[in-house]
Structure 1
Amino acid sequence: MNTRFACRLRRTPGSAASALCAGLLALFAAADVAAQSTELEVGRTLSGTLAAGDTARYTIEADENDFVLGEVDQVSVDVTARVLDPGGTQVGRFGGLGRGVERFGGRTSGAGIHTLELIVAGDDPKAGGRYEITLLRHEPVATDPEALADQIMSRFDGPHSPGGAVRVWRDGRTLFSKTYGMANLAYGLPFEEDTRTNIGSTSKQFTAFAIMLQAERGLLSLDDDIRKHIPELPEFDQTIRVKHLVTHTSGLREFLNLLRMTGRRLDHGDWIDRSELIDIVQRQPALQNEPGAEWNYNNTAFGLAAVIVERTSGQDFPVFMQENVFGPLGMTGTMVRPSTRHIVPNMSEGYTPGPDGYRQIGDLGGAVGAGAIYSTIGDLQTWAENYANPRVGTRESVDAMTTSFVLNDGEETGYGYGLSVGEQGGLKRVSHGGADVAHRSMFVYFPEINAGLTTQSNHAQFDSGVAYELAAAFFRDAMEEEDEAVAAAAGEFDPADYDPGDFDDFVGRYSLDAAPNFILTFTREDDTFYAQATDQQRLEIVPTSDSTFRLLAVEASVTFLRDPEGDVEGLTLHQNGDNHATRLGDDEAQGWEPTAEDLADFAGRFFSDELETFYSFTVEDGTLVLHQRRLDRAELEPGEEDQFSGGGLSFAFERDRNGQVIGFYLSNVRTRDVRFGRVR
């Protein structure tokens, strides 16, 4: 099937009753579609109106592995779009942009009638208005790598959308380089190959490289105590060495997560100064883990690494990088942005969808060392070529950066110095993604074939992980085929054949090892399976094997793990790395149901000396509610006894020997056990 053939779209008006199965995990059977329909060929536009409680349904009859792209012009109504496969399972959700053109699309996983449902976003009973929907493309998923790149990037193309760029290279030759969409919506500037983009945490490899340069010059050692270079840091019980900073194993608090606890609104552009990093560490009473014993992603550590480069070189970090790295390599489009107030010539603005259109949202403050580098797709190719044939730095330094760090217990972390280290298609892969407030980035390098690629975008909804899919397409000749037995087994697995009763082995609650108060709960309702994280909505998951499941609404998956006796002991959450969670016992899994008298114990006002911040708790309609001057009000859910979660935070309350609540320990995934004491 290709774009010369008509795609049959049929629209049927919904009702308030049919909207009852709206929500994230709506089901819709093709048999429910009314007989009357409107056919639409690719390129033809249909108009419609929606009121709160209505559902407009369109169906697309597609073959397996088709590519579909469409757009909804939200003329006077904010629309959320849901895509359901032929079995009625949600496979995509698009929304967030309240006005203007919202694109939807992707590939089909099976043949049959796919349904697109449109509903009014939000819960305003008076909301409603007019929209226009257009099917832009319907064609087989491309087998040509360049055409595949165009399909993947098409949702972020055109004059109405923040855009992006893709660059692919091999053996010093550029295989593909193309840009899409807009770099600046206010002035109508398109994304171009020399557009400078905030690469976010992709910057970390540059900071690690600067550390390696200073080590080569004898100005520091990776085994140095960091206090040798920053003596004003506190002396903890264990020594943090320079190597612990650039491998995420220091045990320090992560400053972005920590500042959020204070009520700083990073999503609102609150100011953060670099000087705060040292102050944050000075206030930390103890390390979160022994240095080298645990991998925990840490922006504080890379910020301190940049300070060490400055202290050992006598140069500001942006100047050091320009004179010692970017300049010598000819990376003329790359710079460190010293602060969010500094001008970056020819930059892409970062945008996030909002209720009244795209919003220009700015960059994170205090990010130097952890991020704050603007670069171009051409310069990132130049950077990769220095890995292949070092002109700056030594082969020994590059090899060390691209080798997985080993923890104190002998386990590998899958992360070197500023780079993730893994495998794809039988090839060693080193990479790093980046996400500032709205910019998204991915850098991927395959040293064994001297090849790589980068994807960049200034759209907050862009998934930079598509770089791995593109790598598989462009370098398929060098990648191994899947093991035939594994591939055959995968090919034979059909989610429809999965016995729902088998999922009962996995039903229960699992505590994330890195943040024990963060609980993943798995449930089954007939033949539908759900996962729900602490303080988050329930999401449908679908099986991809007898022990692996994919979440539909987010880029994540889980693998359930069994002990030698065959009992399920935990799981691995695959999202921004691999995170182990331990299954809670039956007593723990039952949870805690506090009475009104129990809840009254926690009401009061608490203060953290470390954060210089007050939190207050009240009991409202049988629920414990968190209040903080700048954080949103949050209703807390009970977990284990004396533990609650809500607002993205976990609370473990502390009692004295008389049973009186005297404080609590506050955690999120990257910052743990910040103590608050009761003041009244």
Structure 2
Amino acid sequence: MKVSIPGGFALLLLGAGGVHAQQASRLQVGAPVPATLAADATLRYALDLPKDHFVAGRVDQDGVDATVTITDPAGKNVVKAARVGRGGPETFAFATDAAGRYLIEVTPATAGKGGALRVQLTRSEPVATTPAGKVDQAAAQLYEDTPGAVVGVINGGKLTFVKGYGAADLTWAMPFTAGTPTNIGSSSKQFTGFAIALLASRGKLSMNDDVRKHIPELKDFGKTITVRNLLTHTTGYREFINTLLIEGRQVLQGDYIAPDEVIKVINRQPTLQNEPGAEFNYNNSAFALATILVERVTGRPFAEWMRDEVFLPLGMTKTWVRAHPGQIIPRRSAGYVAGEGGFREVQDLHGSMGAGGIYTTPGDVAKWMGNLKTGKLGGPAVIKELTTSFVLNDGKPTNYGYGVSLDTNRGLRRWQHGGNDVAHSSTFVYYPDLDAGYVVFSNYQGVPGGIARVAADAFFGQHMTAPETATTGAAVDVPAATLERYVGKYEMTTLGGMLMTVEMEDGQLRLQLPGQPALPLRPTSMIDFEVVGAPARITFNAAADGAVDTITFHQDGEHSGKRVVETAAAVDLTDYTGRYYSEELETFYDMRVEDGQLVIRHRRFGPAVLTHTSGDSFSGTLPVNLVVFRRDAQGKVIGFDAGNGRARDIAFKKVSG
């Protein structure tokens, strides 16, 4: 049975368990079709489509956790959606590269578990050709009953395009709009950097001041750590949020972090992680200290001073520093994560002020971008300070100013930053040579990661070189044999030894980060992939013979990783069992062998499996990504050093076992 859909193309139901033929007549754009997915069945729907056609839809998982796969006429995967879990909608969207039959397949995400669902096509139309239309299609998977996003395009300090998609608050069915204040996470750092530079320009402090001049209770490590080191991630301090995770705090589940805990974490640190100015190590501790510094210098609360001295003078009336997750921000977006039964609302991160915590709108950011050009507030010298790369002790530039990443994108100079809280995420991009840019703010990190890329290409592609492929969502065709070469485990040498796993499922690569769900990798070239659902990219560095021994992970800078070659050499895991104690964190860990694997436990989390990488080194999942055991002169294990990238070399001593 065929049913016509917009554009005159045919949709038909193929034979499948759990769906009867008469249901095909109801499967059309705008009409959800109830169905029952049997535990061992596959629902298959076919779309006969022309080239350059766009389709979007959703599968509402009323009683089953389902996986949605779209294949093209050649049988290659175009989309695989399996991110939300039972109870929420699995959404999909794709554009056709060729005319022919495209299959929509719905299968149980868990073998042997079926249930009720509804299948719906929401859009079927030609691929958009206008910038606004391209962004609309990139955001087509955001619905009124899903978390959402807002996209703003700015030119000359004015909004030239802005549109909200999805919901800002699911409880009250409040839509995302141009005026919805949204948590921009670490994109807030540029405002903190500007505040310090502004105070320096007014003679209230010097960038070369020892931080302890303003915060004397900070521990003296015998090295001068300057105010400039704070704003450039070059202090050598432990990252306090990551440190508290290792301590056992359930930070991502809403555990309270007091504003002064950053000082306590640093003061318990026995030594610096690196010489000040010697290493760029992305670090929220320093920006949290910067807020304390502002308060000491001005005698006023940071949030109040920022509003009176930065936001209101620029006309940013819908921008706030949220000093505490309980602070009310009128008509703000709530944050969401995927959970059993659908989406779950979560609190913002405690203790994030300065490093994050700013709520704003695209309209207010347009005014901020205008000041980046004019320097009306602060003057050109302050803007230059903010956007000049720090140079490490060895003479290498970090390509990072005071809370601003500095790079070149497709031939255009770019000042940019990404941000993530527990749920919210943001992309901030400004092209100084164009006096233009764009932002994408969302309240769910599962929002399609390609929206920002599409916005950049659609509105600024004419100014760029070497345009990227797949801007409308169609995948680059990377041969399966090439994808197989990328599969493996990679130890991130600049992220504290964190282990990243690249796996392949049903012909698609997925990236598994410690403690996080696997996210699909979408190719943008033969070696470059974007992480779907996160503001990150990964590049596979292929040698002349095609072997891939290293990768580059692009998020808040460029991070190198090397392939882990797992050997068959036997390791006596019982050497590592026992109880360990960290004097610095005042916390215990237990190591046990369970089912042939080394397992780490804490009283507030666990068990978590540790994977042997080499020697006495093991990788794991958050909160402990790296464990390196220490032995005495007789070869007996006496302790280990733990780390998770931004906090590292935290010593634990074996106390029993």
Indicate whether 1:647 and 2:621 are aligned: yes
CA distance in 1, matches of 2:274, 2:100: 52
Does the CA-based 8 Å contact 1:180-1:190 persist in structure 2?
A: yes
- In structure 2, the partner of 1:92 is 80
- Aligned partner of 1:303 among 270, 279, 288: 288
Does structure 1 conserve the Cα–Cα contact (< 8 Å) formed by 2:580 and 2:655?
yes
- What secondary structure sits across from 1:92 in the alignment? strand
Aligned partner of 1:55 in structure 2 is: 42
**1:169-188 correspondence runs (5 A):** 169-188=154-173
CA contact (8 A) 1:63 1:112 kept: yes
Contact 1:93 1:553 in 2 (8 A): no
Match for 1:480 among 464, 470, 480? 464
- With over 3 angstroms needed to count, the CA separation of the structure-2 counterparts of 1:208 and 1:356, relative to structure 1, is same
TM-score under structure 1 length normalisation: 0.86
- 8 Å Cα contact 2:499-2:619 kept in structure 1: no
Q: CA offsets, 1:278-307, max 9 Å, x none? A: 000101112222222222211111111111
Give 2:594's aligned residue: 620
Query: In 2, distance between residues paired with 1:529 and 1:375?
Result: 35
How far is the alpha carbon of 1:654 from its aligned partner?
0.7
Distance 2:559 2:128 in 1: 33
Structure 1 counterpart of 2:400? 415
Q: Out of 148, 154, 179, which is 1:163 matched to? A: 148
**Contact 1:444–1:467 (CA<8 Å) still a contact in 2?**
no
**Equivalent pair of 1:43/1:136 in contact (CA under 8 Å):** yes
Shift of the 507–635 alpha-carbon distance from structure 1 to 2, 3 Å rule, reads closer
Shift of 1:36: 12
CA contact (8 A) 1:495 1:544 kept: no
For 2:90 and 2:615, the matched residues in 1 are separated by 45
2-structure distance, mates of 1:342, 1:295: 33
Residue 581 of structure 2 aligns with an amino acid whose one-letter code is F
Question: Does 1:120 pair with 2:108?
Answer: yes
Cross-structure match for 2:652: 676
One-letter amino acid of the counterpart of residue 92, structure 1: K
Per the alignment, do residues 509 and 187 of structure 1 end up closer, same or farther by CA in structure 2, a change over 3 Å counting? closer
Amino acid at match of 2:539: V
Q: Distance in 2 between matches of 1:183 and 1:344?
A: 13
What is aligned with 1:78? 65
Cα distance in 2 for residues equivalent to 1:163 and 1:174? 20
Equivalent-residue separation in structure 2 for 1:213 and 1:633 (angstroms) = 48
Could you report, residue by residue, the CA deviation over 1:16-40 in whole angstroms, capped at 9, with x for unpaired residues? xxxxxxxxxxxxxxxxxx9999474
- Which of 501, 513, 525 in structure 1 is aligned with 2:493? 513
Partner of 1:557: 538
Shift of 1:370: 0.5
Alpha-carbon distance, 1:241 to partner: 1.5
Which residue of 12, 16, 29 maps to 1:13?
A: 16
Is contact 2:155-2:436 (8 Å) kept?
yes
Partners of 1:190 and 1:454 lie apart in 2 by 18
Structure 1: segments with no counterpart, 5+ residues: 16-33, 488-492
Three-state SS of the structure 2 residue aligned to 1:632 is strand
- Mapped partners of 2:449, 2:560: distance in 1: 23
Gaps of 5+ in 2: 470-474
Instruction: State whether residues 14 and 57 of structure 1, in contact with CA within 8 Å, keep that contact through their aligned partners in structure 2.
Output: no
**Alignment partners' CA distance in 1, 2:639 and 2:45:** 54
Q: Larger deviation: 531-540 or 230-239?
A: 531-540
Q: What is the identity, as a one-letter code, of the residue corresponding to 1:89?
A: N
Letter in structure 1 aligned against 2:643: S
**Aligned match of 1:609 in 583, 597, 600?**
583
**For 1:143 and 1:151, how far apart are their aligned partners in 2?**
10
Give the direction of change, closer, same or farther, for the CA distance of 1:264–1:494 in structure 2 (3 Å limit). closer
Q: Which runs of structure 2 are paired with 1:204-353 in the superposition (5 Å)?
A: 204-353=189-338
Query: Helix, strand or coil for the counterpart of 1:416?
Result: coil
Q: CA deviation at 1:45?
A: 3.2
Measure how far apart 1:367 and its partner are. 0.5
Amino acid at match of 2:159: T
Q: Tell me the residue number matched to 2:472.
A: none
Q: Is the 8 A contact 2:496 2:646 kept in 1?
A: no
* DSSP 3-state at the match of 1:600: helix
Match of 2:603 among 629, 645, 663: 629
Choose the corresponding residue for 2:54, options 38, 52, 67: 67
The Cα shift of 1:515 comes to: 3.7
Deviation of 1:500 (Å)? 3.5
Contact 1:535–1:645, Cα closer than 8 Å, also in 2: no
The CA deviation at 1:567 is: 8.4
For residues 102-141 of structure 1, the aligned pairs below 5 Å read 102-109=90-97, 111-122=99-110, 125=112, 127-141=113-127
Aligned length: 643
Q: Normalised by the size of structure 2, how large is the TM-score?
A: 0.89
Residue 19 of structure 1 corresponds to: none
Query: What is the deviation of 1:14?
Result: 6.0
User: 1:197 & 1:354 partners in 2: Cα distance?
Assistant: 22
Q: Is the 8 A contact 2:538 2:551 kept in 1?
A: no
Task: Identify the range of structure 1 (148-157 vs 665-674) with the bigger mean alpha-carbon deviation.
Answer: 148-157
Higher relative contact order (CA 8 A, sep 6+): 2
Structure 2 CA distance for partners of 1:225 and 1:107, relative to 1, 3 Å: farther
Contact 2:590 2:600 in 1 (8 A): yes
Structure 1 residues 534 and 166, CA, compared in 2 at 3 Å: closer, same or farther? closer
Give the direction of change, closer, same or farther, for the CA distance of 1:89–1:155 in structure 2 (3 Å limit).
Answer: closer
Deviations 1:553-603 (A, max 9, x none): 97532231559x99866332234532112456xxxx2436445xx211111
Check the 8 A contact 1:500/1:527 in 2, yes or no: no
Q: Return the letter of the residue paired with 2:30.
A: G
Return closer, same or farther for 1:528/1:56 CA change in 2, 3 Å cut-off: closer
Q: 1:217, CA displacement in angstroms?
A: 1.1
- For 2:466, the aligned partner's letter is E
Please give the alpha-carbon distance, in whole angstroms, between the structure 2 residues aligned to 1:48 and 1:562: 49
Q: How does 1:409-488 map to 2 (within 5 A)?
A: 409-463=394-448, 466-477=451-462, 479-482=463-466
CA distance in 1, matches of 2:575, 2:594: 13
- 1-structure distance, mates of 2:368, 2:5: 39
Partner of 1:4: 7
Counterpart of 1:355 in structure 2 is 340
Please, which of 361, 364, 370 is the counterpart of residue 385 of structure 1? 370
Equivalent-residue separation in structure 2 for 1:672 and 1:80 (angstroms): 38
Residues 377/507 of structure 1: CA separation in 2 closer, same or farther (3 Å cut):
closer
1:661 paired with 2:637, answer: yes
Amino acid at match of 2:603: R
SS of the equivalent of 2:292 reads: helix
Report the residue type matching 2:124 in the other structure. H
**Structure 1 letter corresponding to 2:403:** G
- The verdict on how the C-alpha distance between 1:509 and 1:134 changes in structure 2, with shifts beyond 3 A counting, is closer
Is the partner of 1:449 in helix, strand or coil? coil
Query: Deviation at 1:209?
Result: 0.4
Shift, 1:412, TM fit: 2.4
Distance 1:102-1:304 versus aligned 2 partners, 3 A rule: same
Partners of 1:458 and 1:553 in 2: CA distance: 12
**Residues 575 and 65 (structure 1 numbering): CA distance in 2 closer, same or farther, change over 3 Å?**
farther
Residue identity over aligned pairs, in percent, reads 41
Quick check: 1:215–1:222 contact (8 Å CA) kept in 2?
yes
1:146 matched to 2:125? The reply is no
**1:591 and 2:571 matched:** no
Q: CA deviation at 1:324?
A: 0.6
Distance 1:76 1:92, change over 3 A: closer
Question: CA offsets per residue over residues 176-200 of structure 1, 9 Å max, x none?
Answer: 1222222222222222332211111
Deviation at 1:276, TM superposition (A): 0.5
| 1:92 CA drift (Å) | 3.1
Q: Which shows bigger deviation, 435-444 or 300-309? A: 435-444
Between the aligned partners of 1:651 and 1:345, the Cα distance in structure 2 is 44
